[in-house]
Amino acid sequence: MRRILILGSTGSIGTQALDVIRANPGRFEVAGLAAGTNREAVAAQAAEFHVEHTAMGAVEAEQLVRDVEADVVLNGITGSVGLGPTLAALESGRTLALANKESLIVGGELVTSIAEPGQIVPVDSEHSALAQALRSGTSAEVRRLVVTASGGPFRGRDRASLADVTPAEALAHPTWDMGRVVTTNSATLVNKGLEVIEAHLLFDIPYDRIDVVVHPQSVVHSMVEFIDGSTIAQASPPDMRLPISLGLDWPHRIGGVGQPLDWTTATSWTFEPLDDDAFPAVRLAKRVGRAGGTFPAVFNAANEQAVDAFHEGRLPFLGIVELIDRVVDAHDAPAALTRESLAEAEAWARRTADALIANA
C-alpha cells in the first residue's frame, strides 16, 4: 500500500486524486493533506480519510513534507509557491507526483540537480503522455517530442483579429474547465510555452527537438517520434484522473480510472501547425528556457501580472505576451541560482511588469 501526501488537496488535482484513492482503498492510504485557505474542506477530507496530519499554506506544506512519512508526494499546489514543497519532497527521497509545473519551471536546475532518475513523475496530461510513450524506446532513440495543444478559444484566428479580445472570450475554453490564469494561458498559448520548458527539464531533450502541434479534439495528449520514423502517441478522453493515477502508482496502471475511447463510433482527429505569428508565446518560452537561470521565473511572474491586468481592463489581450517579452528583455540574471535569487527575480519581474502596465 502506498502512502500519499496530497498538497493542494481542495483544488482540482487534489480532489480528483482523492477520487482515485477513494475508489482504491486497499491500494492507497492518505498520509497527509495540505491546502491554501479552505480549512473546513481540509477538515472534512481529513475526517473522511482518517488523516492526522494537515497543513495550510505553502510554508506549512513544505514542513509537512519533511515531517510526515509518505511514499509519494502529490504536489498540486498552484503557482511558484510550490517550489519549497517540491524541493522538500526530492530531498527526502520520496517520489514526487508533479502537477505543480511552476515549481519545476521556475526552479529549473535547482530542482533537476537534486532529483534522482525517475523520482519526478509528471501529472500534467501532456507530460504524462510523453512519459508513457517514452517507455517505447531508449533516450538515444528519440528524435523529438511533440506536445499537443487544443489551440484554446482562438484557434485559427490571425493576430489582427485578436486585438479586441475580451476577458470573457479568453475564458471560454472549448475543452477544459480551469481557473482564470490557466485558462487565459491556454488562450495566449503561454501554457504551451511553459509545458515546453517543463518537457525539456523532465526529459532532457533539447528545445530544437520539442515541437507543439495544435490538436483541437484533445484526445492525443502528446507524442514521441523515434529515429526509425515511428511515432508513439498516448490517446484517451480528456480526464485528469488517468495521469493522476499514474502519478500515484507509477509505473503501474489502475483499472477503471477513466473511460476508454469508443472505437465503434466514427470520429476524426485533426492536427494543425502552430501559428507563431498569432501566438508567439511558445517561441518566447523556448528562448527563455535556453537562457535558463532565473529567466523562466521572470517569464512566469510577468505573465501572472499581465493576466491580472488583462482581466482588470488595464492591458489588451495581445499585450500579455508583449509585456512578458519586454520584462524578459530587461532582465539581468544573477550569478547563482538559489531560492533567494529566484524570489528576488520574481519580485523584480512583478515590479517591472506593473510599472510597464501603469505607463502603457
CATH number of the domain where residue 15 is located: 3.40.50.720
162, 271: one domain: yes
160, 233: one domain: yes
- Secondary structure class of 92 (helix, strand, coil): coil
- What's the pLDDT at 337? 93
196, 280: one domain: yes
115, 88: one domain: yes
d(CA 334, CA 344): 10
- What's the pLDDT at 175? 65
155, 142: one domain: yes
29, 51: one domain: yes
Distance of CA 344 to the CA centre of its chain: 22
Q: Give, to the nearest 10 degrees, the angle between helix 83-91 and helix 339-358.
A: 160
Domain count, the chain: 3
Question: Of 249, 282, 306, which marks where a domain is finished?
Answer: 249
| Phi, psi angle pair for 222, to nearest 5° | 175, 170
Quick one: DSSP state of residue 235?
E
- What's the pLDDT at 178? 64
266, 309: one domain: no
Residue 256 lies in a domain: no
Give the predicted TM-score (pTM) of the model: 0.95
- What's the pLDDT at 324? 98
Quick one: DSSP state of residue 116?
P
Residue type for position 161: S
325, 339: one domain: yes
Pairing of strands 142-149, 210-214: parallel
210, 339: one domain: no
82, 202: one domain: no
275, 146: one domain: yes
Residue type for position 9: S
Residue 323 lies in a domain: yes
Residue 164 lies in a domain: yes
Residue 255 lies in a domain: no
For residue 210, give its domain range: 124-237+262-290
Q: Is 346 left (phi over 0), alpha (psi -120 to 50) or beta?
A: alpha
Quick one: DSSP state of residue 152?
G
Beta sheet of 72-75, edge-to-edge order? 54-56, 28-35, 2-7, 72-75, 95-98, 120-122
Residue 322 lies in a domain: yes
CATH number at residue 326: 1.10.1740.10
Residue 254 lies in a domain: no
Residue 257 lies in a domain: no
Burial label, 16 (beta-carbon count in 10 A; 0-12, 13-18, 19+): buried
- What's the pLDDT at 176? 60
Question: Within 13 Å and on the Cβ side, how many CA atoms surround 175?
Answer: 19
Question: Of 191, 220, 249, which marks where a domain is finished?
Answer: 249
148, 273: one domain: yes
**One pLDDT digit (tens) per residue for the chain, 360 residues:** 999 999 999 999 999 999 999 999 999 999 999 999 899 999 999 999 999 999 999 999 999 999 999 999 999 998 889 999 999 999 999 999 999 999 999 999 999 999 999 999 999 999 999 999 999 999 999 999 999 999 989 999 999 999 999 999 998 876 665 678 888 999 999 999 999 999 999 999 999 999 999 999 999 999 999 999 999 999 999 999 999 999 999 999 999 998 999 999 999 999 999 999 999 999 999 999 999 999 999 999 999 999 999 999 999 999 999 999 999 999 998 988 999 999 999 999 999 999 999 987
